[in-house]
Amino acid sequence: MPQRLAILGSTGSIGRQTLDICRVYPELFTVEVLTAGSNAEELIRQAIEFNPNMVVIGNENAYNQVSEALASTDIKVFCGSKSIADAAANSEVDTVVLAMVGISGLEPAVSAIRAGKKLALANKEVLVVAGELVTKLSIEHNAPIIPIDSEHSAIMQCLQGESSASIEKIILTASGGPFRGFKSEQLQKVTLQQALAHPVWSMGDKITIDSATLMNKGFEVIEARWLFNIETDKIDILVHPQSIIHSMVQFVDGSIKAQMSKPDMRLPILYALTWPQRLKAPFQTGGLLDIASLTFEKADTTAFHHLAMAYRAIEIGGGAPCALNAANEVAVDLFLHEQLSFVGMQNMVENALRKFESIKTTTLADLIALDNETRVFCKSLKNN
């Protein structure tokens, strides 16, 4: 039987690439649910092509547009964030691909896990904000979490057949982003256009900026801590500009396993959907022609202080990672609208982390409340 998919965030970069895989393997995957935040036009196009059982548009103001466009079909149309969370638990779905950006993906993730779905996770914030809670629910409901991030997919592949006791350290690789090698004074003058010009990956604006600040690597450290149940002092970062080695695992005997491939997010998506099996990936052709020119550098946590703040947040625990993420989302949004400088993002996040790092959280409601409080605080900083 084909695997039945719910693709949450289908109009974004990861969502579209997941649909590319569905086009390559129509006999293996059926699309049951598609959701989007506000891109009604693209959601309509996707729905007409894939004929899912239901679609959800997060922006309630766009409901009539989507509903009218699909009126001649049998596709059920819903709107709002609650409907997206409900769709994640749909009984006609086997696997939920969570490609939504930001904390908006948290409630759908919890909904999918509580319904026992396999969760193919591309949303960093779910584990950054609520890693302890989400991984506990995953065990309780026998709902596996399979990472789509290229780095965590690489680690998962390297760990197949290995015992957790044999792990010496996990080594996450980073491209270094557009400002690799920049010092603090150089970062004072960078522009939005420069920050969006990633040298390797084609991604959405939010994650591209996180790559430029190295906050994405900080988030990946927090994710790895929960995905692989490993302490943060055993998680290292290496800058690897070629982005051929997607991450490595060093074992207690000194040996190192690395997963290598040409940069293409469709590969970790395919692996997440078909794990523990492997399928031919027609988009990975020609082999690795430049394997002889692989280089590595240490990450600079002085100039790129976001990375240091992420390590600090996970070591503190409690509500600190939640505050870190909320402040970063506000700061990145302001930067994208050219209302905050590149270095201003770092200062805003640091102020918020200092203010909220001691807050304790135990429930999903606690985390959502802290997220809201942090955002209000950050917006007040911007207005002062």
Q: Are residues 31 and 171 in the same domain?
A: no
For all residues of the chain together, what is the average pLDDT? Answer: 93
- Domain check: are 189 and 132 in the same one? no
CATH of the domain at 369: 1.10.1740.10
Is the pLDDT at 303 greater than 70? The verdict is: yes
In a domain, 308, yes or no: no
CATH code, domain carrying 105: 3.40.50.720
The answer as to whether 322 is a domain residue is yes
pLDDT tens digits, 235-278:
999 999 988 899 999 999 999 999 998 888 999 999 999 998 88
The pLDDT confidence band at residue 287, using thresholds 50, 70 and 90, is: low
**147, 177, 198 - which closes a domain:** 147
Name, in order, each residue with C-beta under 8 angstroms of 333's C-beta and a sequence gap of 6 or more: none
Rounded to an integer, the average pLDDT of 203-214 is 88
Domain-terminating residue out of 90, 125, 147: 147
Cis previous bond, 321, omega within 30: no
Same domain, 156 and 297: yes
Mean pLDDT across 109-120? 97
Q: Are residues 258 and 369 in the same domain?
A: no
pTM of the model: 0.91
> pLDDT-based confidence at 143, cuts 50/70/90?
very high
Which whole number is the average pLDDT over 125-134? 94
Domain co-membership, 154 together with 249: yes
Same domain, 16 and 109: yes
**Cα separation of 369 and 349, whole Å?**
18
One domain for residues 8 and 142: yes
**Residue 279 maps to a domain:** no
Q: Count other Cβ atoms within 10 Å, centred on residue 67.
A: 18
The answer to whether position 267 is within a domain reads no
Residues 295 and 159 both lie in one domain: yes
Query: What pLDDT sits at residue 383?
Result: 67
pLDDT of 235: 96
Q: What is the mean pLDDT of residues 318-330?
A: 95
Q: Show the domain range for 122.
A: 3-147
Residues 170 and 138 in one domain: no
Q: How confident is the model at residue 306 (pLDDT cuts 50, 70, 90)?
A: very high
At 178-192, the pLDDT tens digits run 899 999 999 999 999
Residue 34 CB partners (closer than 8 Å, separation 6+): 6, 7, 10, 43, 46, 47, 50, 52, 54, 55, 56
pLDDT, residue 1, reads 87
Task: Answer whether 350's CB lies under 8 Å from 320's CB.
Answer: no
| 53 and 119 fall within a common domain | yes
- How far is 307 from 328, CA to CA, in rounded Å? 12
The total number of residues shown for the chain amounts to: 384
On the question of pLDDT at 84 being above 70, the answer is: yes
